Structure 1
Amino acid sequence: MHRSKQLLTVFSVTLLLAACGGGGGGGAAPNAANSGAPTTAADISATIDTSKVKRDLVVGVDNPYYLFHEDILVAQDKGYFKEVGIDTVEIKTIEDPLPALIGGSLDMALYDSDTSIAAAKKSNTGVRFLSVYLGGEANILGVHKGINTAADLKGKTITGGQFNSRNDAILRELLTKNGVVPDQDVKIVSTGGQSNERLQSVIAGVVDGASLQLRHRKVLEREGGKFLFEETRRVPQNGWAANKLLQESPETVTAFLTATLKARQFITNQANKDEVLALMVKHGFDVPPEFADAYSAENAPDYHVADGGFEPADMDKFIQDQIGFKSVPEGTDWRQYTYLVPLWRAQKILGLPFRPALGSV
């Protein structure tokens, strides 16, 4: 497994920029279900008052892979934070950033959308989901050398991770679509860890196949294996959330999204691949050729979502699926724990279409 050398469990890097700022705000946490939601473009402000922007931020990210850090690092490098009044952004990589977000030691958190929404409901605090970061979901069965067809899977052992997880469920669905009957044609086992650990299990022969990620293709092929089945679908799986910052300084949330989405426009332009990856290496991330080869897929505008938006119908399905997997409490309405005004403002400032469309939520 190739990991960023910056992290084993927790790390932080301070990004120093120059600007001015302030604070302000307060009141009850807003949400997308209230009657005051804007419905026309005229209701959306297209300017940022930098005197109300908090100058120094601390954000939490759960994944050490460069993909989850690049928006912030590019925004720093290009001066986009400076443009909106932010001086510093300190990144803390933490396995689960939500307790710190709820407790107030983090200003924002990048984490699984469903987990953030579930935490907002369970904690009954001001946690609100704000914007999608990854909006594509890769469903991949990677297998070791010698397995070339669905028939070759007969009697083999594979894993989608822990039983009753989303990865386990969508892997079973992928098998069924390709004519393989789960638990009959193949033995499915429950395993802990993340996709990187599953990759190593395939390479080591602990299992014959596993649910993997796009970046694992070249690593697996180098060992003689392959992606036997794969599909990518539209799922708003990961994104930014805020808590106290949204109430104390909503201007800062808009500023942060504006700067990072501007960076994402640069990142998802494939002509900038070499520059982005060179910057990631400069910041200490391990980006071997196998991971660089996955750039076009992982940084496609519909995967690393270029506008930060999503379709409400996709979120409806995702949350309903996660309720079925018991990852989200029964009866959860994601709209009550989602606030989109900062995203819409950032989209307007950057000249992007509103997504979700105004009035659609």
Structure 2
Amino acid sequence: MNRLTRRIGAVAVLLLFAGSLAGCGGSGDGAGAASAGPMDAIKANLPKSDADINGTIDKGKVKKNLVVGVDNPYYLFHHDIEIALAKGYFKEFGIDSVEVKTIEDPLPALIGGSLDLALYDTDTAIAAARKGDKNLRFLSVYLGGEANVLGVGKGINSGADLKGKTITGGQFGSRNDAIIRELLRDNGVEPDRDVRIVSTGGQSNERLQAVISGTVDGASIQLRHRTLLEKAGGKVLFEETREVPQSGWSVSRLLRESPETVAAFLAATLKARQFITDQANKEDVLSIMRAKKFDIPAEYADAYAAENAPTYHVSDGGFKPADMQKFIADQIAYKTVPEGTDWRQFTYLVPLWRAQKALGLPLNPALADM
């Protein structure tokens, strides 16, 4: 799902604030954030032990009404918020309302101040912070699983059947393009020798339609597309899922102005996610989302277990630092993140730790790992 050919140049125009976030993250209230300075200064702003993390949200310090940006209209990217609203979790932590704006690229609005938080690609947010917005911080993982799926058209039943066929992973140079090539090689098919790789625009829905229409013979698709493809006579030929912290919540001004609100927002949405990733609640979740006018055909509902698995739609918002290190290193190689970027410098986890503690969850990542 990671879309790596983002308009970072447009973001750069809106990097309006050069001032760094004031740091006192070692205190129990979590007020303040690490500045984009040397690593020793960042480490000094982190809590020293689990006991320094205050899991009690002071509702009197929480901003009551929030506006957040989400870049994908698919229900998976909205249901944390909608379930938190429906179940009263936001009010439990002092937030009265959350307005969601679906925007293809929410970072300019976040940096400009018209959004309080944004759900977007992890690497793009970190790259934007690295390029100059010293207020911008990555907070928490939303999707921590990455499905690398090759969907193919009628008559293709094996790797041998792919010989001479046309395959797309999306735009050349994107992560999807790179990982579909890797998936082919893992299954004994050499890109640009055994198959012809082509560059295409659009997202995964468009790639699915390209396979169904016969425009290409195979493409990188999503888990939710399996049933639709099978109904059209195609199939998923190769598939793998791995842990990649591909998208998550980022914040800019709000972290400086009201750190309590950031912790409250994460606590409410993570409580909703705990509900969502409990598979016993599938029908309740889908009913709420359909009532909110989200289009969820049976084929997409069939993918609920996979897309809302606790390791895919990460139930605690955390990640393994080694996974993040590899992900950012990959993105540097793809030239979507600037050379020399240290992701820790632009990642601030005190609000996540506070939310996890408020919900009785283990701190993830552990302080010692950060």
User: Equivalents in 2 of 1:52, 1:327: separation in Å?
Assistant: 37
2:105 corresponds to which residue?
A: 96
Secondary structure of the corresponding residue to residue 258 of structure 1? helix
1:175 corresponds to which residue?
A: 184
1:27 corresponds to which residue?
A: 22
User: Equivalents in 1 of 2:233, 2:362: separation in Å?
Assistant: 44
For 2:244, give the aligned amino acid: V
The 5 Å alignment of 1:177-326 reads 177-326=186-335
For 1:245, give the aligned amino acid: L
User: Equivalents in 2 of 1:125, 1:106: separation in Å?
Assistant: 16
Q: Does 1:152 align with 2:155?
A: no
Q: Deviations over 1:256-306 (max 9, x none)?
A: 000000000000000000000011100000000000000000000000000
2:141 corresponds to which residue?
A: 132
Give how far 1:30 is off: 2.1
Q: Deviations over 1:124-149 (max 9, x none)?
A: 33000000000000001000111000
Q: Deviations over 1:61-104 (max 9, x none)?
A: 00000000000000000000001110110000000000000100
Give how far 1:36 is off: 2.2
User: Equivalents in 1 of 2:138, 2:343: separation in Å?
Assistant: 9
**Percentage of identical aligned residues:** 72
Which among 74, 82, 91 is matched to residue 73 of structure 1? Answer: 82
User: Equivalents in 2 of 1:100, 1:34: separation in Å?
Assistant: 29
User: Equivalents in 2 of 1:183, 1:313: separation in Å?
Assistant: 31
Q: Deviations over 1:145-196 (max 9, x none)?
A: 1100000000000100001110000000000000001000000000000000
For 1:284, give the aligned amino acid: K
Contact 2:33 2:45 in 1 (8 A): no
**Count of residue pairs the alignment pairs up:** 336
Give how far 1:123 is off: 2.7
Contact 1:38 1:359 in 2 (8 A): no
User: Equivalents in 2 of 1:284, 1:153: separation in Å?
Assistant: 40
TM-score by length of 1: 0.92
Secondary structure of the corresponding residue to residue 46 of structure 2? coil
Contact 1:102 1:125 in 2 (8 A): no
Contact 1:114 1:237 in 2 (8 A): yes
User: Equivalents in 2 of 1:302, 1:360: separation in Å?
Assistant: 19
The 5 Å alignment of 1:55-70 reads 55-70=64-79
Contact 1:61 1:92 in 2 (8 A): yes
Contact 2:270 2:317 in 1 (8 A): yes
2:357 corresponds to which residue?
A: 348
User: Equivalents in 2 of 1:151, 1:42: separation in Å?
Assistant: 58
Structure 1 residue ranges without an equivalent (≥5): 1-25
Contact 1:141 1:211 in 2 (8 A): yes
Contact 2:263 2:355 in 1 (8 A): yes
Contact 2:118 2:250 in 1 (8 A): yes
For 1:347, give the aligned amino acid: Q
For 2:168, give the aligned amino acid: T
Q: Which range is displaced more, 323-332 or 39-48?
A: 39-48
RMSD (CA atoms): 1.0
TM-score by length of 2: 0.90
Which among 140, 151, 157 is matched to residue 142 of structure 1? Answer: 151
